[in-house]
Amino acid sequence: MAARLGRSLATVRRLEGTELHPVVDASGVHRFDPREVEALARDNVQPRGFRAFAVSEVTSAEPNGDCDSCSRSHDQVKRLEAELDNIGREHARQLDDLRSCHEQALAQSAIEQRALESALNELLEALED
């Protein structure tokens, strides 16, 4: 359920009683109403008092130079962004490799299927004779 909402289990627990109203069964398992879960997922409602920051708010702020800690944090964000870009490029390369392998496997499978069909036709013809 937490994964469906893109939230932590702790956040889901905080939403209980406000946005979510689970029924707790005899085993202590919380059973959520699928309509509530889907509505919450669709509306992307944040818990009360929670403010989500847009990535641009975090990464566009420039340090003012008065704070070494701010400057180091800004540098760290830039390094993490670069690392994330590298990871994205690597994943794209791996995806291209997988697509290529998949296409080759499909082509080989088609060749083998045609060979099997031909062998089957020959066998059927031999059995008819």
- The one-character DSSP state at 47 is P
pLDDT in tens, the chain (129 residues): 777 777 888 888 888 888 889 898 898 888 888 888 888 887 764 555 555 555 555 555 555 555 777 888 888 999 999 998 889 899 989 988 999 999 999 999 999 999 999 999 999 999 998
**CA triplet 17, 18, 23: central angle to 5 degrees?**
35
Rg (CA), the chain: 28
Predicted confidence at residue 105, as pLDDT, reads 92
Predicted confidence at residue 120, as pLDDT, reads 96
Q: Nearest Cα to 20, choosing from 28, 11, 29? A: 11
Element spanning 30, H or E:
strand 30-31
Predicted confidence at residue 115, as pLDDT, reads 95
Predicted confidence at residue 52, as pLDDT, reads 52
Model-wide pTM > 0.85: no
Whole-angstrom distance, CA of residue 74 vs CA of residue 79:
9
Whole-angstrom distance, CA of residue 62 vs CA of residue 52:
20
Predicted confidence at residue 118, as pLDDT, reads 95
Whole-angstrom distance, CA of residue 24 vs CA of residue 90:
45
